[in-house]
Structure 1
Amino acid sequence: MSQAERRHVELVKESGCACCGAAGFVHAHEIEQGLWWTSIGLCPDCHTGPNGIHGDKTLWRIHKLNEIKALNETLRRVYG
């Protein structure tokens, strides 16, 4: 991971959850492994929880999100 990618991921982790809006430090979920520029800020529940993106995706359906929409929200929060 380059220095620029590391800085981007740190900003993503500070941006809050793109799915539910939870504030604070979050995980950086990669849409595709190793593509750090496409990291999405997600709280633990929306990321690795049973209803999160790596679970049954219930929270994502409730918020009517997919990874591209969540990436857009993350980038808006980081750079907007």
Structure 2
Amino acid sequence: MGRISQMQCICCFLLDRPQTSRTEVHHVRVGHGGAQRAGDFCTVPLCADDCHRGKNGVHGDQTYLQILKMTQLDLLNATLERLYG
């Protein structure tokens, strides 16, 4: 998670736009109950005030995921490609 927190927001990177707030680590939530989250390996970097907790972010209406035509698992894949690719 330390390396993830040092990365650029994966949504901002994929949308080719500048990141305007600090990076937070988001635990991907797919196939889990509402109170459950994936393990620490399944994390992505998201900017705090927009792509993470913002109105259009993953904890909002997920507009950015719709624009990218991606799921949270796709964001995880893109993050892993940036880390290891």
> RMSD of aligned C-alpha atoms?
1.8
Aligned residues: 72
Hey, which of these two has a bigger chunk of helix by percent? 1
Relative to structure 1, the CA distance from residue 10 to residue 25 in structure 2 (aligned partners, 3 Å threshold; closer, same or farther) is: farther
Paired with 2:25 and 2:71, the residues of 1 have a C-alpha distance of 15
1:77 aligns with 2:82: yes
Paired with 1:62 and 1:34, the residues of 2 have a C-alpha distance of 24
What percentage of aligned pairs have identical amino acids?
A: 35
1:28 aligns with 2:32: no
Per the alignment, in what secondary structure is the counterpart of residue 16 of structure 1? Answer: coil
- Paired residue for 1:42, among 29, 35, 46? 46
Per the alignment, in what secondary structure is the counterpart of residue 72 of structure 1? Answer: helix
Paired with 2:74 and 2:66, the residues of 1 have a C-alpha distance of 12
Q: Which deviations, in whole Å up to 9, do the C-alpha atoms of 1:27-80 show, x marking residues without a partner?
A: 110014251000011112111101100001111111212111100111111222
Per the alignment, in what secondary structure is the counterpart of residue 75 of structure 2? Answer: helix
Paired with 1:26 and 1:79, the residues of 2 have a C-alpha distance of 19
Moved over 3 A (4+): 22-25
Flag structure 2 segments of 5+ consecutive residues without an equivalent.
Answer: 30-36
Per the alignment, in what secondary structure is the counterpart of residue 8 of structure 2? Answer: coil
